[in-house]
Chains A and B, each alone.
Chain A
């Protein structure tokens, strides 16, 4: 029905999810971890690797589809794509597979991300392969890391709208509380208090240690098939109800300092198309997995995706709104801040668990879940439903 009417709506479904263990250091290679996650996702779906004919991942993924396909024993692939901009590409990997399947280009798609950021190098430490644009305008001055680049927007946001560190703490706390319920989370047995947050060391003022995502080794994957085929799979299908990418006019990536309004980020662009393609609006979302490389991205995303008005994202976090039972429970596996930081792929798999009813922090009766990719870079989003 989706393909015939020219829309993506519910035409494809996620039927399998898989992941490795998360740790600061895993001994295996990124390639081996990628294979394990993909095979786990296929086993979860009840599909054989030879049935896979489509692949999607991030441009920053080190294991390419050729290596992955031949290692796991995939069949002839007829669709493969890579999405750029780091964590901004997470949801788009699923969106590309859904679109390919809805238009008959493939039938069984695998999306994945494997990363040893816990024990491996960080991109920002590389001084030689830095991009001339825009690094020449920022790095000589010691604006070196993503946290410095986003910290600049966070400080302005605090100044312009009265956001405080307590608001950012509410975000960190909600993620940590959910991680404390999730045995797979790196921070499972590490509760967070306001005292710990307020006395933590700075990373880039105004952002402290707990405003930053974790350093994780790990891999995740999911399997996408048509809605029709999903009915025959082992797991309850989780439908891709709507999907969108967003690259706003004149946007600059991490250092989006040169537009008229730098605080209106890619979330706003992705959101417009996401809701346009959906039968639902923000008020219908039961639970959300919002990309949290930094706490400050959450209020900006809440505004962008329409959960509140411009400048109201910080206030939205008050009163336990992001906790289970709150206005909008978020990042229910702990997110990038407290479960694992694997470029946001764990937000997708947690969205699937919520709609299967198998989350360790289950939102009762969850029927819709918003999943977002990195904000502050060209981004993407998925609206999932069961």
Chain B
């Protein structure tokens, strides 16, 4: 691996490469807050973040804090060939979580046994579509924090 590769953390996992619209999301996760972009005019949440509201075309936005609770909408278990950091941990569980307080917003993430546990830490037999989950925050690299997901009923 290239030592100057700023796209990866020490463990070879890819760090989020933010754009201007998405940057506030990562600023808030670094503070341990899960927030979604909403229209400041019509209040409709939207994801992924973008410059204006597709419903009312307003450019006024706000970042609304959500409870971090949701349900598994779907999931996959990737196996190699994968990028090296991921291949080392495969198979792991990638979930799509539908947020309880913003239905229609579904966040991709990892279902793990604990916030800082390895990607492959959860027994795959425990994964079910519809299972309630809650957010936890994991530091991938200094200042880079990603949401992860824990089963509500471990």
Chain A residues in contact with chain B, CB under 8 A? Answer: 125, 127-128, 130, 132-145, 147-148, 151-153, 155-156, 159, 201-206, 250, 252, 255, 257-260
With A204-B78, A258-B105 in contact, is A136–B110 under 8 Å at CB? no
> Does the CB pair B13–A152 fall under 8 Å?
no
- A140-B16, A142-B92 as given contacts; A258 in contact with B48, CB under 8 Å: yes
Task: List, in ascending order, chain A residues with CB within 8 A of B89's CB.
Answer: 142
Find out whether the CB atom of A141 lies under 8 angstroms from the CB atom of B110. Answer: yes
B-side contacts of A152, CB under 8 Å: 74-76, 94, 96, 108
Chain B 1-17 residues near chain A, CB threshold 8 A: 5, 7-8, 13-17
CB distance from A377 to the nearest CB of B (A): 16
In the complex, the answer to whether A156 meets B79 with C-beta atoms within 8 Å is no
> B83 to A136, Cβ gap below 8 A?
no
Known contacts A134-B48, A136-B22, A137-B16; 13 further A-B pairs (Cβ under 8 A)? A128-B5, A132-B18, A132-B19, A140-B146, A142-B78, A142-B119, A143-B78, A151-B78, A155-B75, A156-B74, A204-B76, A205-B76, A205-B79
In contact, B94 and A159 (Cβ under 8 angstroms): no
CB atoms of A127 and B76 under 8 A apart: no
Q: How far apart are B25's CB and chain A's nearest CB, in angstroms?
A: 8
Q: Which 9 A-B pairs have the closest CB atoms?
A: A132-B19, A205-B77, A156-B74, A151-B76, A136-B16, A202-B79, A142-B86, A204-B78, A155-B74
- Closest CB-CB distance, B17 to chain A, in whole Å? 5
Question: What are some 13 contacts across the A-B interface (CB < 8 A)?
Answer: A132-B18, A133-B19, A133-B21, A137-B108, A140-B15, A140-B140, A142-B89, A142-B94, A153-B74, A257-B73, A258-B48, A258-B106, A259-B104
| Identity of the chain B residue whose Cβ is nearest the Cβ of A257 in the assembled complex | B106
**Chain B residues whose C-beta falls within 8 Å of the C-beta of A144 in the assembled complex:** 14, 78, 82-83, 86
Q: Choose among B13, B19, B75 the residue that contacts A140 (Cβ–Cβ < 8 A).
A: B13
When C-beta atoms are compared, the residue in chain B nearest to A149 turns out to be B76
Kindly report which residue of chain A lies nearest to residue B73, judged by CB atoms.
A156
- Nearest-Cβ distance from residue A136 to partner chain B, whole angstroms: 4
Given known A-B contacts A140-B14, A144-B86, A205-B77, A257 and B108 have beta carbons under 8 A apart? yes
Do residues B13 and A142 form an inter-chain contact, with CB atoms below 8 A? yes
Could you tell me the distance in whole angstroms from the C-beta of B35 to the nearest C-beta in chain A? 14
A134 contacts which chain B residues (CB < 8 A)?
A: 48
> Within the complex, which residue of B13, B75, B107, B129 is in contact with A137, where a contact is CB–CB below 8 Å?
B107
Given contacts A255-B108, A257-B96, A257-B106, contact A137 B74 (CB under 8 A): no
Name the contact of A133 in the complex, choosing from B48, B73, B82, B83 (C-beta under 8 A): B48
Q: List B residues 72-115 near A (Cβ within 8 Å).
A: 73-79, 82-83, 86, 89-92, 94, 96, 104-110
**A201 and B78 alpha carbons, distance in the complex (Å):** 11
Query: For the complex, is B54 an interface residue (Cβ under 8 Å from A)?
Result: yes
CB distance from A300 to the nearest CB of B (A): 14
- The docked-state distance in angstroms from the alpha carbon of A141 to that of B8 is 12
How far, in Å, is A117 (CB) from chain B's closest CB?
Answer: 14
Residues of chain B contacted by A153 (CB below 8 angstroms): 74
User: In the complex, what residue of chain B is closest to A157 when comparing beta carbons?
Assistant: B74
Q: Which residue of A lies closest to B105 (CB)?
A: A258
| A258 and B74 within 8 A (CB) | no
In Å, the complex CA distance between A142 and B54 comes to 29
CA distance A152 to B73 in the complex (A): 9
Closest chain A residue to B119, Cβ basis:
A142
The interface residues of chain B lying within 8 Å CB-to-CB of A255 are: 108
Does B47 belong to the interface (CB within 8 Å)?
A: yes
Per-position 1/0 for B47-79, Cβ under 8 A of A? 110000010000000000000000001111111
Chain A residue at smallest Cβ distance from B46: A258
Instruction: Find out whether the CB atom of A143 lies under 8 angstroms from the CB atom of B22.
Output: no
Q: Which residues of A have CB within 8 Å of B26?
A: 136
A130 to B19, CA, bound (A): 12
Residue of B7, B47, B76, B106 most packed against chain A (CB within 10 A): B76
* Residue interface bits B107-150, CB-to-A below 8 A is 1, else 0: 11110000000010000000001000000000010000010000
